[in-house]
Amino acid sequence: MTHYSLWSILAGGLTGQKNWTRAWRDPAPKSEYDVIIIGGGGHGLATAHYLASLHGVTNVAVLEKGWLGGGNVGRNTTIVRSNYMLDANAHFYEHGLKLWEGLSDDLNYNVMFSQRAVINLAHSKPQLDGYARRGNAMLLNGIDAELVDREAIRQMAPYFDFSETARFPIYGGLMQRRGGTARHDAVAWGYARSASSRGVDLIQNCEVTGFKIENGCVRGVETNRGPIGAKKIGMAVAGHTSHVAAMAGLNRLPIESHKLQAMVSEGLKPLIDHVFTYGAGHFYISQSDKGGLVFGGDLDGYNSYAQRGNLPVVQDVASVGMALSPALGRLRLARHWAGVMDMSMDGSPIIGKTPINGLYLNAGWCYGGFKATPASGWCFAHTIAQDRPHALNERFTLDRFNTGAVIDERGAGPIPGAH
């Protein structure tokens, strides 16, 4: 595998790009592995990378029914942050943020992690008080947070509506400077390349069609490319968790499938230098390095596996966008799509063991999946390798919905579509 560096780029230019080898191998599945990860998305690939690099577990296969990175890691709004209030979330996502800070180096792949600051806009003092509660908790947890006032936001984003007639005037905001964006596909590819180079078999177009379970222990999976045995199996198929888990007999997971919309404008010269969330509507905005304004919208509001959204949410995003910055009016929307979310009953994920020995579950990511990728893979690898959760994910159990120890950041309750 070619090591990536400025020198390899120069060599590529001088050799007509003959120096580049495959980013990952394309092996045929073996009959047996120590660990199978179902799902070649961000979390599955990250899990494989950390299993191999931190736990020495390299006899691993990642089974992907389509193409690597084809799930939500490839259709999100690329935002990375750890601005959480509740301890369990805060420590987990902050661990993830620290991994992000070294990720390009760890993977020898430029994931373009850009710590350009994430700012949550508040439109009234009570709203800012609510954000302050979170910001104070972040600081006490050792995570960076700052209050910013209206003037500071005007400096950062002069194109926002600071007029007297703004419907929801910008009052202030909570900023996490270390938050930002990353190139989403590169994250999947970087993990894939690293895992593959450490011996992990990445098997695309390999759909799991059933599980082999004996005496409450997993033994392997059935696939469209034949049976594959394994002592341990991790599921990382957010978006289709209910479907895959049902094959293993886990029939009533606390998850609903919803589609979340995102959209992008035509390419523009730099306009928005940070990530902003609007406080009076479900909306966030940033600008990709290529120049497109990236907008996040709301759930369509009904259960679905379709990776496409309907118009009402697009209209809502456009109108919130116009409320935030009337300069967006003449810019054009180039593309809109949807990703299928595992919406959990408390808005927080599930990473841990299942009632079946050797079967591990990584699910329920709601909107938080992309930024969680490194932390999720790190914790899931630990959980699989050690057969017990790490302190960072020990509260993200399935059982918490029985005990009531839910991790409900927004207090939206057991209404998956409301988180």
Which residue, 132 or 247, is less far from another protein as judged by CB? 132
Residues of span 109-128 touching another protein by CB under 8 A: 109-110, 112-116, 123-124, 126, 128
What is the size of the binding site for another protein (CB under 8 A)?
123
Q: Is 204 in the site for another protein (CB under 8 A)?
A: yes
Q: Is 54 in the site for another protein (CB under 8 A)?
A: no
- Token pair 């999947």: residue: 188
The SS3 of residue 77 is coil
Judged by CB under 8 A, which of 152, 156, 247, 327 binds another protein? 327
23 Rama sector, left if φ>0, alpha if ψ -120 to 50, beta otherwise: alpha
| Residues 6+ away with beta carbon under 8 Å from 345 | 254, 255, 401, 406, 414, 416
Whether 115 contacts 130, CB under 8 Å: no
Q: Is 331 in the site for another protein (CB under 8 A)?
A: yes
Residues of span 183-202 touching another protein by CB under 8 A: 183, 185-186, 189-190
Residues of span 261-320 touching another protein by CB under 8 A: 265-271, 280-281, 287, 289-291, 306-308, 310-311, 314-315, 318-320
For every residue of 125-154, DSSP letters joined together read: HHHHHHHHHHHHHHHHTT---EEEEHHHHH
Exposed/middle/buried for 226, CB within 10 Å: 0-12, 13-18, 19+? exposed
Q: Which two tokens stand for residue 228?
A: 């594959």
Which residue, 32 or 185, is less far from another protein as judged by CB? 185
Residue type, 190: G
Whether 202 contacts 40, CB under 8 Å: yes
Query: Of 223-231, 322-330, 368-376, 383-391, which segment contacts another protein by CB under 8 A?
Result: 322-330
Smallest distance from another protein to CB 299, Å: 15
Q: Is 207 in the site for another protein (CB under 8 A)?
A: no
Smallest distance from another protein to CB 60, Å: 18
**Spatial CA neighbour of 33 closest among 15, 51, 17:** 51
Q: Is 101 in the site for another protein (CB under 8 A)?
A: yes
**Spatial CA neighbour of 185 closest among 268, 72, 286:** 72
Which residue, 116 or 371, is less far from another protein as judged by CB? 116
Q: Is 391 in the site for another protein (CB under 8 A)?
A: no
Which residue, 32 or 162, is less far from another protein as judged by CB? 162
Judged by CB under 8 A, which of 246, 335, 355, 386 binds another protein? 335
Residue type, 366: C
Which residue, 162 or 229, is less far from another protein as judged by CB? 162
Q: Is 240 in the site for another protein (CB under 8 A)?
A: no
Q: Is 133 in the site for another protein (CB under 8 A)?
A: yes
Residues of span 55-74 touching another protein by CB under 8 A: 66-70, 74
Which residue, 54 or 67, is less far from another protein as judged by CB? 67
Which residue, 197 or 232, is less far from another protein as judged by CB? 197
Which residue, 114 or 383, is less far from another protein as judged by CB? 114
Q: Is 168 in the site for another protein (CB under 8 A)?
A: yes
DSSP bridge partners of 361: 235, 352
Q: What angle do CA 217, 218, 223 make, to 5 degrees?
A: 160
Q: Is 154 in the site for another protein (CB under 8 A)?
A: no
| C-alpha R_g of the chain | 21
Which residue, 242 or 287, is less far from another protein as judged by CB? 287
Contact string (CB under 8 A) for another protein, positions 345-374, x = contact: x-----------------------------
Q: Is 377 in the site for another protein (CB under 8 A)?
A: no
| Residues 6+ away with beta carbon under 8 Å from 203 | 27, 28, 29, 40, 61, 62, 63, 64, 225
**Spatial CA neighbour of 276 closest among 109, 86, 99, 148:** 148
Residue 358 per-residue DSSP state? T
Q: Is 152 in the site for another protein (CB under 8 A)?
A: no
- Packing angle, helices 42-54 and 369-386, rounded to 10: 40
